[in-house]
Amino acid sequence: MTHSPHSDPAATVGELTTSSIVAAALASALRDGRADSPAEALRVDPARAAVLETLPGGAEGALNALWAERLPRANNIVSLLNQAAAAAAGATQTWSDLGDDVLVAQGRSSVLMARVLLSRIGPAYGFLDPGFPARVLDVGTGVGAIAAVLAESLPQVEVVGIDIADRPLEIARERLAADSGDLSARVRYRHQDVTDLDEPESYDVVWMPLPFLPDGIVDEALTRASAALRPAGLLVLGTQPEAEDRRITAAGAWLASLAGGGTLPASEVVRRLTRRGFSDVRRFDTVLGGPVLVGAVAPS
């Protein structure tokens, strides 16, 4: 009697392990500094190309679909693989325990969120214009990647980044000190829990990635962040995507439970903002399977 791969435990393990290697090959190709195009990324490493040819639609089709934002997309894959590997080894309790390399990779991945803020969300709401001053609060700043990109792109903007984890803040400050421009005059980092935030009407824009906050504190975090916004200010939240595949939902929830993060999907966040009186609530997709950003205007 023969067995289908899905009924054979050894075959199932092999399939899952191979999938992780294919994901690693994809991230490697996207990050390859020798390549200026998908075709070249395949040509410079034939063995890797052979792995990628197993992807639906073929290797070049997959790379073409991801190439426009290839570095943030690759860094997102690397971050998830690092978190999964640490979880498999039972080596982590919170995401900031994963080591400097993982923290930096997560920061690089988050740069994509900054790009979406600058190119799509800010213009949609009339915020984050390079010609106008503004104050931005970056909740859960980590290694300061988003704060730095915003300040570099908006010369009249001041950014305050807060986090509860010491090591990411140390890295953020080290990176800021190494900057040769004026970022140190416009970017500040401090150790603070968002649930202790007490700065009424101090910011034009607040960014808060809910996947990094436990679900149990989200309502208090929203209360504090909302109070910190100036009237009719812009709140932008990172949320979990709506996933039809239960494996994706379950996997995300497990990693979140280990890392102390959250699981709220965009639809639930939209409902909570609407109940709080926010207006013009909109969703902004990022990358396939990646966070969904939700923008909303505070009550005036």
The per-residue pLDDT for range 156-207, each reduced to its tens digit, is 999 999 999 999 999 999 999 998 888 999 999 999 999 999 999 999 999 9
pLDDT (tens digit per residue) in 62-80: 899 889 878 877 877 887 7
For the record, the structure tokens of 200 come out as 């009424």
- Domains of the chain plus CATH, in order, are 5-68 (no CATH), 95-297 (3.40.50.150)
The pLDDT value given to residue 244: 72
Residue whose structure tokens are 């010369």: 155
Residues contacting residue 97 through CB under 8 Å, at least 6 positions apart: 91
Q: Please say whether the beta carbons of 201 and 229 come within 8 A.
A: yes
pLDDT at 24: 92
Using the structure block, give the residue that is written with the tokens 């932008």.
236
CB distance 144 to 189 below 8 Å: yes
User: Stretch 78-94: mean pLDDT, rounded?
Assistant: 75
Mean pLDDT score, 269-276? 97
Distance CA 295, CA 4 (A): 46
Task: Write b or e for each residue in 151-170: b if 16 or more Cβ atoms lie within 10 A of its Cβ, otherwise e.
Answer: bbbbeebbbbbbbbbebbbe
Residue 274 pLDDT greater than 60, yes or no: yes
- Residue type (1 letter), 218: V
* Cα 295 from Cα 286, distance rounded (Å): 13
User: Cβ of 19: how many Cβ atoms within 10 Å?
Assistant: 11
261 pLDDT band, cuts 50/70/90, is: confident
| pLDDT-derived band at 7, boundaries 50, 70, 90 | low
Instruction: List pLDDT tens digits, range 102-135.
Output: 788 778 878 889 999 999 999 999 999 999 999 9
The Cβ-side half-sphere exposure at 190, using a 13 Å CA radius, reads: 9
Output the average pLDDT for the chain. 89
Cβ-contact 243, 263 below 8 angstroms: no
> Is pLDDT above 70 for 3?
no
Residues 4-13 have a mean pLDDT of 70
Residues 136-140: what's their mean pLDDT?
Answer: 97
d(CA 239, CA 283): 10
The predicted pLDDT at position 2 comes to 43
